[in-house]
Structure 1
Amino acid sequence: MKTVILRSCLLMAVTISLFSFEIPAGWFVAGSQPKKYEMGIEAGAGQTGKKAATIKSIDSNIDGFGTLMQASSAQQYLGKRVRLTGYIKSKDVKSWAGLWMRVDQAGSHKSLAFDNMSNRAVKGTTDWKKYEIVLDVPAQATNIAYGALLSSTGQIWFDNLSFEVVDASVPTTDLRQMTAMPTNLNFEE
């Protein structure tokens, strides 16, 4: 009897370790439906064969998204342009996925700069590919939030992220950018 219980406990421990992920240090889980995803580190899944972060849906129908993210002070980036670079691989992404970055001001409900790659989203099944987000950090910014997200179902892995200051010659990817003047008013472009 003790052997059966011991084997059952061992099998359960192995199963849990195979199908659950540990949240990486410095990161946290968020989103509109975070409980419908498993998120964390997957050993052996990295771009170079080591560890990668992953977001995996656990429900078959999800109206919302999950994100694995960080937030940090904007203080050392005020008045500068920053770039978040990373690699994403996907499997069966039904809706879309991507990196994201947002620049916020304390006490305001509106972001100062934002890009979630919705205009160049990762969809379906893809191999590792490099993605970039570039945003300006205005003088009134207080924090920068960033990470990767998965909307609806599927799985993504992300790896080898970097965060750096770039010069003004690197164009921003801010989704809220305005054009300098009205454009394509006859819909011919």
Structure 2
Amino acid sequence: MSKNILLFRLFVFLNCVFQIFGQISYDLPAGWFRDGDTQYYDIGVDYATFYEKAPSGFLKSHPNISSLNSDLHSTLAQGFIPKDYLGKQVRLTCFMKYSNVLSSIGLLLQVHSVNGGFDNTLNKNSIVNGSGDWTKFENVVNVPEDTSLISFGAILNDEGVVWLDKCNFEIVEPPDESVSFPFPKFEPNVNNNDFHNFLTYPINLDF
């Protein structure tokens, strides 16, 4: 048997191994972290399902978790100190795909400041559930000068699967005057030292 045939067969074998075992990874890129009831969800990157180019991030519930607690949820999130966005209005856009979502998904965008605030698609739109192909989600939020941290990502409530890909931040100019400061959520006097380990800009927005 020739060397070329052996190499070809090795390539085919390794490709099959990748197709079977290499489609997902539970190692998240730098900047991303898991939050919420993570013991009931698989969270990682998916090399087989993506918006434009591999990979994407995903959240997938364990089977039948609704029988345990209907309030379970988890997030695939990132946080950064928004030094370039202080005093600005910011738009976050991401593409999301979802499958067999029992309750809801949302695009999380959260502002930590003295006055505090919280904003995501679940507050502004109808509950997103069921199944749907890649869809553009966006949130616009004001970032006060005293903001200590912005966190963002995908949230999955209850059962289902959601993929997140191709996120982008941009400053809204001129600002949309219909966007009010986020409603109060956190206690005042947030200490900037609490966030000294965070980056000062978002990274790996397309995983």
* TM-score band w.r.t. shorter chain: 0.7 to 0.9
Deviation at 1:61, TM superposition (A): 1.9
The CA distance in 2 between the partners of 1:92 and 1:49, in whole Å, is 23
Residue 45 and residue 83 in structure 1: after superposition, are their counterparts in 2 closer, same or farther (change >3 A)?
A: same
Partner letter of residue 161 of structure 1? Answer: C
The CA distance in 1 between the partners of 2:23 and 2:165, in whole Å, is 20
Q: TM-score, normalised by structure 1?
A: 0.75
Query: What residue number does 2:122 align with?
Result: 118
Q: Which runs of 4+ in 1 moved over 6 A?
A: none
Query: What residue number does 2:196 align with?
Result: none
CA contact (8 A) 1:79 1:139 kept: yes
Q: TM-score, normalised by structure 2?
A: 0.69
Residue 48 and residue 87 in structure 1: after superposition, are their counterparts in 2 closer, same or farther (change >3 A)?
A: same
1:7-156 matches, cutoff 5 A? 21-31=26-36, 33-62=37-66, 63-105=71-113, 112-119=116-123, 120=125, 121-156=127-162
Identity of aligned residues (%): 33
Indicate which of 161, 183, 191 corresponds to 1:176: 183
Q: Which consecutive residues of structure 2, in runs of 5 or more, have no partner in the other structure? A: 1-18, 185-207
Deviation at 1:77, TM superposition (A): 1.2
Partner letter of residue 34 of structure 2? Answer: V
Deviation at 1:19, TM superposition (A): 6.4
Count how many residue pairs are aligned between Structure 1 and Structure 2.
160
CA contact (8 A) 1:83 1:164 kept: yes
1:125-159 CA-partner distances (Å, limit 9, x unpaired): 00111010110001111111111110000000111
